[in-house]
Amino acid sequence: MTATLIDRQTESSLEPILVHELTWREFKATEQLIDRPGIRLSFLDGVLEIRKMSSQRHETIKERIGALLDIYLEFLELDFTPTGSMTLESESQQVKREGDKSYKLGPDREYPDLVIEVVVTSGGINKLEAYKRLNIPEVWFWIGDRLLIYALTDGEYQESERSQLLPALDLELLHRCINMENHARSLREFRAGLSE
């Protein structure tokens, strides 16, 4: 039996604040006023989402997924660039979003190919709609103790059993290692699993 990464905790203080009916210009002005560490702003169709970041649970899971994915991409010898929580925005599409982790899986990419979101609270803007407007090929959501994969197909996101970008990735091994209590042990077990 695998121990859960971190006990669940009440995170109601992290629920987003939503401000409706803003223009892009009003949003950009507000963004400059609220430029503070620990606050993340997103925008979609006139709705500003203000979210306080982040709980220990959120940060630990985010870093664990990133560390495991870095190992996997290096194992594949892919030309990749981790772009962290890079700001993605488009005034013409009325959208601004920052994922928790993102990756460019090749050279000369304007936006990441893969964005990862660790969801520990509900509410806020429609994240898939935001990423669709930014034309992000694949989005992963870690919700609870489960990874949900969405691939952009014919202009719409479809939930997928496997990553379209990394089809050989062993999701069972990835899940098991994300949920391990000990970080170093999870990395070692993931590396060992790739060698089998």
User: Residue 186 sits in a domain of what CATH number?
Assistant: 3.90.1570.20
152 falls within a domain: yes
> By residue range, what is the domain housing residue 86?
55-195
81 falls within a domain: yes
189 falls within a domain: yes
Whether 61 contacts 141, CB under 8 Å: no
Q: In the chain, how many domains are there?
A: 1
16 falls within a domain: no
119 falls within a domain: yes
User: The whole model's pTM is what?
Assistant: 0.84
Q: Which residues, at least 6 apart from 190, have a Cβ–Cβ distance to it below 8 Å?
A: 68, 71, 72, 173, 174, 177
Give tens-digit pLDDT for 122-180: 778 899 999 999 999 999 999 988 999 999 999 999 999 999 999 999 999 999 999 99
Residue with tokens 């994969």: 149
Give tens-digit pLDDT for 26-53: 999 998 888 887 788 899 999 999 888 7
106 falls within a domain: yes
The rounded distance, in Å, linking the Cα atoms of 87 and 34 is: 15
Q: Which residues, at least 6 apart from 85, have a Cβ–Cβ distance to it below 8 Å?
A: 40, 98, 99, 100, 101, 102
131 falls within a domain: yes
